[in-house]
Chain A
Amino acid sequence: MNALVHPSAVSTDAAEASPLISVKGLEVEFRTARGTVRAVRGVDMVLRKGETLAVIGESGSGKSVTARAILGILQTPPAYIAGGSIQFKGRDLLRISEKERRSIQGARIAMVFQDALAALNPLLPVGWQIAELFKVHRSLPMWKGYEEAIELLRRTGIPSPEERVNQYPHQFSGGMRQRVVIALAIALSPDILLADEPTTALDVTVQAQVMHLLAKLRSEAGLALLLITHNIAIAAEVADRVAVMYAGRVIEEGPTADVLKRPTHPYTAALASLASDAITGVQAPIPGSPPDLAAIPSGCAFHPRCEMARDVCRQVDPALRTIRQGQRSACHFAEEVSL
């Protein structure tokens, strides 16, 4: 696996196309009896038609929460949207009615989950869960939905779909289950696919197969893919653009090759070198650990772990600004990072 990005003709066109979905200033907090935790603190993100955006970050960085906010499945309580907007097809997803939201969920925006076994209802047959989508969104009778389900299972590469369609989730292997979850997600040909760590729970060979499937479906259907991962190598392989999140904010974003080869934020630089070190065998993990979201450091959230930290970093939280064409970073000393 190399750090070269797969050149995608789509991305140059996409750069000019208007965004399909535009997240602005998203803030999500979790209010529990123990206190309030700000999981997402002002995230801006843009996804264009046919584009693949990889959202990279450690656990706790807020990437999953952002995706769930887009899909609208955050559980309130304890999660509360404290601010921001998500523009999709002329509507703000945070302010639409329940009915409208349900018509979008599954049909226009869909999610592929990390743990396929947990994401499927263990007591309902797989085909039933797919057929239900057609009943709910397109008012098709269940038997027709089952036909569609068989087709979808075939498309996602599951052998003998006619038999498999009546089986239960626990009867599938890990990789096959993930394909079922993908089938559920693409069933109604959505515009956007949110993939939350789709391969993390799988072993390496299966990972490659699933990513390949996702890429194939993406190019077949022209859908936009928001890929959440902490695996930089995978991001490098498939993503057109990359957004790096830390402690609830996007701290760098831009075209994949630029961000990974010429990072403009110390955190991204550390991550990128970790990834390539993994290949050369030298491990130099980033010192420290991600901050407790209930007690975020003052100023720049990364400063306690940053080699380049200076006084201003402790005091002032840097805003996301454009450093080069199409590449933005939230660091006071962004220009010095790739020196």
Chain B
Amino acid sequence: MASLILKRLAESFLSLICLVCAVFFAARLTGEPGKLYLPLTATDEVVDAFNRQHGFDQPIWKQFLDFVVGLTRLDFGESLRRQQPALSAALEAYPATLSLVAVTMVVALLISTLLGCLAAFRPGSIFDRLSTGLAVSAASFPDFWLALMGVLVFSVGLHWLPTSGTGTWLHWVLPVTVLMMRPLGSLVQVVRGSMIDVLSSAYMAAARGRGIPVWRQLFIHALRNASLPALTVLGIQAAAFLNGAVIVETIFGWPGIGRLMITAIFDRDFPVVQATVVVTAVSIFLLNLVVDVLYGVIDPRIRL
């Protein structure tokens, strides 16, 4: 398994490098990198002064070198709006996003496993068809709209839940629900599909033939096998979770990386934008790593 992790590490690292380089070059391909940092109304003299001050008038290769050196020192520059290094701003916001995504992933896995198993147990039943319909719909909801509708009904209408911010567990309900909708759709389908496969497999027939009670069959024999494809999908969906986090954080005022990125974009605070991109990429890599390790824990065939 060590070799698998190493391979993953190498691939993701390569992706990360490519991404960072792409960001670097894209920033400079507009010709006037200074403009990215300054308000749109800044005069040309201000821009030129800024460029000279930050070394944007130097040859590209030298800029790139400085950039790489800065990277190794984990220096993404200073945030132009806050009085702190860009990286620390990003890292401050990171735990909020991480906790939101982690909780959502766990809840999504639990609900999809439950629904998928129940649907698989009686394929073609009303329940099955309802859950399939729900899954297809869930993937089609615009998440920002769903969030707003949720606010409309549960906050404005019924006053059950707060509109934004963090604090009590109630604050988590809407953000987690909205964030998990899209991935839930595909997860339920995957669990259902793999559960159907498992239930019709030879070893389940063999277990039935040994008189194993139904609940044991389901939870001890079948569930483990059925969860593997779901775990894979969960890993693939890591990127989708972060997509959704941007929207959810913005609407619910959740102090995470996604909201930071949007704020930084509108503040024209480029160092922070850069830093959030890199932190996001790293976290996707970490998430995938966790999924891989989990997979190895469940499936002994991968281990050896």
Contacts and interface: CB of A to CB of B under 8 A. Distances in A.
Interface of A: 68, 71-73, 75, 101-107, 110-111, 113, 115, 118-124, 132-133, 136-137, 168, 170-171, 181, 184
Contacts of A181: 206
B298 interface: yes
B173 interface: no
Given A75-B200, A168-B300, A168-B301, A119 B206 contact: yes
A102 B224 contact: no
Contacts of A171: 304
Interface stretch (B58-66, B143-151, B152-160, B211-219): B211-219
A73 B212 contact: no
Nearest to B221: A121
A123 B212 contact: no
B243 interface: no
B221 A73 contact: no
A149 to B, nearest CB: 13
B73 interface: no
B interface, by DSSP: helix, strand, loop or mixed? helix
A121 B203 contact: yes
Contacts of B216: 132, 136
A111 B206 contact: yes
B209 A110 contact: yes
A102 B301 contact: no
Contacts of A133: 210
Interface of B: 200-203, 205-213, 216, 221, 224-225, 298-301, 304
B209 A73 contact: yes
Nearest to A124: B221
Contacts of A124: 221, 224
Given A122-B301, A123-B298, A123-B299, A73 B208 contact: yes
Contacts of B224: 123-124
Contact of B211 (A115, A137, A170): A137
Contacts of A118: 201-203
A181 B299 CA distance: 21
Contact of A120 (B203, B209, B213, B300): B203
Given A111-B206, A113-B202, 20 more contacts: A68-B205, A71-B209, A73-B209, A75-B205, A101-B211, A102-B212, A105-B209, A106-B212, A118-B202, A121-B203, A121-B207, A121-B225, A123-B224, A123-B225, A123-B299, A123-B300, A132-B216, A137-B211, A168-B301, A170-B301
A68 B201 CA distance: 14
B197 to A, nearest CB: 12
Contact of A113 (B206, B221, B225): B206
A118 B298 CA distance: 18
Contact of B209 (A103, A106, A132, A170): A106
A181 B202 CA distance: 12
Contacts of B210: 105-106, 110, 133, 136, 184
B206 A105 contact: no
A75 B196 CA distance: 12
A106 B212 CA distance: 9
15 contacts: A68-B205, A73-B205, A73-B208, A75-B200, A102-B213, A104-B211, A106-B212, A110-B209, A110-B210, A121-B207, A122-B300, A123-B300, A132-B212, A168-B301, A181-B206
Contacts of B301: 122, 168, 170
A216 to B, nearest CB: 22
Contacts of A132: 212, 216
Given A75-B205, A121-B221, A105 B300 contact: no
